Structure 1
Amino acid sequence: MHNSDNLSTPVGRLRCFLRERGLSQAEFSRATGLDPSNVSRILSGRMPLGNAAAARIAETFGLNRTWLLSGEGPVRAVAEPQGAPVYDIDITAGPVGLTRDFTSEHIVGHLALPDISPDCPVVRVSGNSMTPTINNGALLSIRPVTATGPIFWGQIYVVVLDDYRMVKYVRRHPDPSMVILHSANHDYEDMEIRRSDIRALFLVEAVINYERRC
């Protein structure tokens, strides 16, 4: 925005924006719902641009309210990502260990779908041990749970051991100190492990199976 208006003041920045958009005071008032007389006072410098008016203007035109009031930051508001964070973590459905954590540098996108909690991380799974329930390359919405707490028997979990991360049905074992890890694919045998060997558990809340066509 380059013109004769003084961009060091909120009013100057507002005037500049109106000129670039080609908006009259009347059009600006109708768009924002601000009182025309107050708009006239603000633009003439007889009334300061307050927080409430700046918020209304920013919301109407997608401007950064901080920029409008102080001149700091980008002109346009930066939209916050919507949906659950998707991480470039492959929690393999077979016996392959991974050590990546859920850190911001591993976020590759966001997934906004009904019934997918934005507070739960989304990760990818590869392998065929859980097909046809979970296909190779599927996305999983997972929620951390206490490894020593109650287990919802028969549900799908990400089970973290010392050397492996696996996606399995967790079934009750006759020995309460043990659990059975069951695959949906009948070509895979059940695994029996001690509960004390489980380092972390994530309940699989949603499975998103999809196929890339091109």
Structure 2
Amino acid sequence: MQNIGVKLKEYFDSKGITQKEIADSLGVSKAYVNALFNGRNSFGKEQAEKWVNLYGLSKSWLLTGEGDMLVSSNADVMNENTTYSVPLLPISAQGGSLNDFVVSVKNSECEKVISPIKGVDYAITVSGESMSPEYPSGSQVLIKKINERAFIDWGRVYVLDTCNGTVIKRLFPSDAAGCVVCKSINPEYPSFEVSMEDVYGVYRVLMCMSMK
């Protein structure tokens, strides 16, 4: 367990996330988090599940130390006898700019698609060319909701559900308090800022699926 704790501490230190912030997010004491990092405590199944949901860590890695630390790794790719069905949202993540479109979606109303990885909450279709060629228009991305108040892994691609619509962008910190900078992969599209007060949900992109 010592090795797991050391790797966890290194990971969160690299993200600038303090033990107090972790403790507050999980509803536990700072001493408990410190004991996990130092190997004095080990993860139980229930506590591991909370870390999985909040931080995208692998449950099997937290319990055994085997495999990869993050759920989006190749360790979570399904074998030939395993499938994961996830809801395909009936809206598009805009690859351009905010599109003044708001919609409430129920899972029961969604078409289902097959995901080759586990830990996915939704699939959503990409619209627009600003994220091409890595995320071409018409492709589907598999996304997982995160707790953005805990931390955001800057520079990675996320889907933002905002009051002005849904966008897929790389996220970076902003000089303006309470805002994030949204950047496109295609340099022809300008960056813009979004206030987190206008964001209903943040979803980490785990995988992109497109027709070749």
The structure 1 residue matched to 2:91, chosen from 86, 89, 92, is: 89
Give the match's secondary structure for 1:135: coil
Give 1:138 shift: 0.6
Residue 163 (structure 1) aligns with: 164
Give 1:144 shift: 0.7
Give 1:100 shift: 4.1
Cα deviation, 1:128-158, whole Å, max 9, x if unaligned, reads 1111120010110000112433111001111
Q: 1:110 to 1:118 in 2, by over 3 A?
A: farther
Q: 1:139 to 1:162 in 2, by over 3 A?
A: same
Q: Which structure has more strand as a fraction of its residues?
A: 2
Identity of aligned pairs, percent?
Answer: 20
Instruction: Kindly provide the amino acid, as one letter, of the partner of residue 111 in structure 1.
Output: I
Instruction: Kindly provide the amino acid, as one letter, of the partner of residue 110 in structure 2.
Output: H
Distance 1:170 1:185 in 2: 14
Q: 1:162 to 1:85 in 2, by over 3 A?
A: same
Judge conservation of contact 2:102–2:163 (CA < 8 Å) in 1. no
Distance 1:118 1:200 in 2: 17
Q: 1:102 to 1:184 in 2, by over 3 A?
A: farther
Residue 121 (structure 1) aligns with: 122
Q: 1:129 to 1:152 in 2, by over 3 A?
A: same
Q: Does 1:99 align with 2:103?
A: yes
Q: 1:100 to 1:91 in 2, by over 3 A?
A: farther
Instruction: Kindly provide the amino acid, as one letter, of the partner of residue 203 in structure 2.
Output: F
Cα deviation, 1:21-61, whole Å, max 9, x if unaligned, reads xxxxxxxxxxxxxxxxxxxxxxxxxxxxxxxxxxxxxxxxx
Judge conservation of contact 1:85–1:118 (CA < 8 Å) in 2. no
Instruction: Kindly provide the amino acid, as one letter, of the partner of residue 190 in structure 1.
Output: S
In our comparison, the structure showing a higher alpha carbon Rg is 1
Q: Does 1:111 align with 2:108?
A: no
Residue 210 (structure 1) aligns with: 211
Give the match's secondary structure for 2:182: strand
Q: 1:195 to 1:118 in 2, by over 3 A?
A: closer
Give the match's secondary structure for 1:196: helix
Cα deviation, 1:45-84, whole Å, max 9, x if unaligned, reads xxxxxxxxxxxxxxxxxxxxxxxxxxxxxxxxxxxx9423
Structure 1: which 5+ residue stretches go unaligned? Answer: 1-80
Give the match's secondary structure for 1:132: coil
Instruction: Kindly provide the amino acid, as one letter, of the partner of residue 144 in structure 2.
Output: R
Distance 1:187 1:119 in 2: 31
Structure 2: which 5+ residue stretches go unaligned? Answer: 1-81
Q: 1:102 to 1:91 in 2, by over 3 A?
A: farther
TM-score between both structures, scaled by the size of structure 2: 0.54
Q: 1:197 to 1:148 in 2, by over 3 A?
A: farther
Residue 196 (structure 2) aligns with: 195
- Equivalent residue pairs, number: 128
Judge conservation of contact 1:112–1:118 (CA < 8 Å) in 2. no
Distance 1:190 1:200 in 2: 20
Judge conservation of contact 2:119–2:144 (CA < 8 Å) in 1. no
